[in-house]
A and B are shown apart, each in its own frame.
Chain A
Amino acid sequence: MSFFSKTQNAPKSQAELLYDIQVRKERRFRANVGLSWLILVFILVMAFSGQEVTIGSKTFSGIQIDTEFMRKNLTFIAGGLGETIRISLMSIALAMILALLAALGRLSTVPPIYALSTFYVSLIRGTPLYLQIFFFFLALPQLGIILSGLWAGVLALGLNYGAYMSEIFRAGLSSVGKGQREAAMAIGMTPAQTMRRVILPQALRFAIPPVGNEFIAMTKDSALVSATGFVHELMWRSTKVGRAQFHNLEALIMAAMFYWVMTLLLTYIQSIIETRLARGDR
Chain B
Amino acid sequence: MNTNSVFSAMPIVKISNLDKYFGHLHVLKNISLDVPPRQVVCLIGRSGSGKSTLLRCINFLEEPSQGTIEVDGIRVEGGEKGRHHRQLVHDVRLKTGMVFQEFNLFPHMTVLENVIEGPVIVKGIGRQKAIELAEENLDSVGLLFKKDEYPNRLSGGQKQRVAIARALTMEPRVMLFDEPTSALDPELIGEVLNVMKKVAKAGMTMIVVTHEMGFAREVADRVLVMAEGELVEDANPADLFNSPKDPRTKALIDRYRSGEQA
Contacts and interface: CB of A to CB of B under 8 A. Distances in A.
B108 A201 contact: yes
Contacts of B59: 186
A85 to B, nearest CB: 30
Given A188-B94, A193-B121, A205-B108, A183 B100 contact: yes
B117 A187 contact: yes
Nearest to A204: B108
B90 A180 contact: no
B61 A182 contact: yes
A179 interface: yes
A202 B100 contact: no
A282 B94 CA distance: 28
A224 interface: no
Contacts of B170: 187-188
B108 A202 contact: yes
B205 interface: no
A182 B100 contact: yes
Contacts of A31: none
B166 interface: yes
A196 B151 CA distance: 20
Contact of A185 (B93, B105, B117, B166): B93
Given A179-B100, A179-B102, A197-B117, A187 B107 contact: no
Interface string B151-172: 1100000000000001100100
Interface residues of B, number: 26
A189 interface: yes
Majority SS at the chain A contact face = helix
Contacts of B61: 182, 185-186
B123 to A, nearest CB: 8
A99 B226 CA distance: 47
Contacts of B106: 180, 183-184, 198
B137 interface: no
A282 B151 contact: yes
A281 interface: yes
Contacts of B121: 189, 193, 197
A33 B98 CA distance: 56
A188 B91 CA distance: 8
Nearest to B102: A179
Contacts of A187: 93, 97-98, 117-118, 122, 166-167, 170
Interface string B220-238: 0000000000000000000
Nearest to B110: A282
Contact of B118 (A188, A202, A282): A188
Interface string A172-211: 0000010110111111111001000110011001000000
Contacts of B118: 187-189
Contacts of B167: 186-187
B249 interface: no
B96 interface: yes
Interface of B: 59, 61, 90, 93-94, 96-98, 100, 102, 104-108, 117-118, 121-123, 150-152, 166-167, 170
- Which A-B residue pairs are the 10 nearest by beta carbons? A187-B118, A183-B104, A186-B98, A179-B104, A188-B93, A188-B122, A282-B150, A201-B108, A188-B94, A282-B107
19 contacts: A177-B104, A179-B100, A183-B105, A183-B106, A185-B61, A186-B61, A186-B100, A187-B98, A187-B117, A187-B167, A188-B94, A188-B122, A188-B123, A189-B118, A197-B117, A197-B121, A201-B108, A282-B108, A282-B150
Given A188-B90, A197-B117, 4 more contacts: A180-B104, A186-B97, A187-B170, A190-B90
